[in-house]
């Protein structure tokens, strides 16, 4: 399939007119399937002022299969696994909701939006989700603390 053509086009578009708070580059110039994304924590969220390194991997079947998104920077968030993988898998990133015409730009914007508005009902970190729902102040404190510690 013409996946290289599609990926190159998306990469060009994203580098030429990057969406707000998102900067993309290839992790290795010879491999278009591994991307390195620098994401600014959205304003008004406890991640504000943090710079998060996000890894975006494209499967060889891309765009018929969704990309995978993982946070290389440690982050305190209900929808990001609190381990060395830092993976995120929901909404359009799930294989059964992904459409081949969905774009990487949309994926990244979706991920960034998720930083501002977590989805505690689809959480991978149940404990953080509980805290987010019941003790928002404490959640924001810890999230800010982690941002300062790992993302600045």
Partner 1 sequence: MDSDDEFMSDVSSQDDFLGTQGSDDESLGEDFDDLDAGFSDDKDLIKHKKKPYEVEYKVLDPHDIDHEQLGQVNEVCAILGLPPESVAILLRFGRWNKEKLIESYMEHPEETLEEAGLGSNFEGTAKTEIVPGFMCDICCEDGDNLETYAMRCGHRYCVDCYRHYLGQKIKEEGEAGRIQCPGDGCNRIVDYKSLDLLVTKELQGRYRELLTRTYVDDKENLKWCPAPNCQYAIDCGVKTRDLRRIVPTVRCFCKHEFCFGCSLSDHQPAPCTLVKMWLQKCEDDSETANWISANTKECTKCNSTIEKNGGCNHMTCRKCKYEFCWMCMGLWSEHGTSWYNCNRYEEKSGADARSAQAKSRSSLERYLHYYNRYANHEQSAKLDKDLYLKTEKKMTSLQSQSGLSWIEVQFLDTASQALQQCRQTLKWTYAFAFYLARNNLTEIFEDNQKDLEMAVESLSEMFEKPVADLAGLKVDILDKTAYCNKRRVILLSDTAENLKNGEWSFNIEW
User: Would you tell me which residues interact with partner 1 (CB under 8 A)?
Assistant: 1-3, 5-6, 9, 61, 63-64, 95-96, 99-103, 106
Q: Could you give the CA distance from residue 52 to residue 66 in angstroms, rounded to a whole number?
A: 21
Q: Give me the least distance between CB of 107 and partner 1, in Å please.
A: 11
The Cα 46–Cα 136 span in angstroms is 11
* CB nearer to partner 1: pick between 92 and 142: 92
- 152 is known as an active-site residue: no
> Please, which residue, 63 or 118, has the CB nearer to partner 1?
63
Least Å distance between CB 13 and partner 1?
A: 11
Helix/strand/coil for 18: coil
Q: Which is nearer to partner 1, 21 or 59 (CB)?
A: 59
Contact 18, 114 (CB under 8 A): no
Mapping DSSP onto H, E and C, the string for 89-146 reads CCHHHCCCCCCCCCCHHHHHHHHHHHHHCCCHHHCCCHHHHHHHHHCHHHHHHHHHHH
Catalytic residue among 11, 89, 92, 142: 89
Nearest distance in Å: CB 5, partner 1: 5
Q: Which residues are the active-site residues?
A: 89
């Amino acid at each position: 399939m013409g996946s290289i053509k599609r990926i190159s086009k998306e990469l060009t578009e994203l580098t030429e007119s990057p969406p707000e708070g998102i900067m993309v580059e290839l992790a290795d110039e010879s491999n278009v399937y591994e991307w390195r994304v620098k994401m600014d924590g959205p304003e008004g969220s406890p991640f504000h002022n943090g710079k998060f390194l996000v890894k975006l991997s494209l499967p060889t079947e891309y765009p018929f299969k969704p990309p995978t998104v993982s946070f290389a920077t440690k982050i305190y968030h209900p929808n990001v696994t609190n381990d060395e993988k830092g993976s995120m898998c929901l909404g359009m990133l799930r294989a059964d909701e992904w459409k081949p015409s969905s774009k990487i730009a949309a994926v990244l914007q979706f991920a960034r939006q998720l930083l501002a508005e977590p989805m505690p009902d689809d959480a991978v970190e149940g404990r953080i989700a509980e805290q987010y729902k019941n003790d928002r102040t404490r959640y924001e404190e810890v999230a800010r603390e982690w941002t300062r510690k790992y993302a600045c």
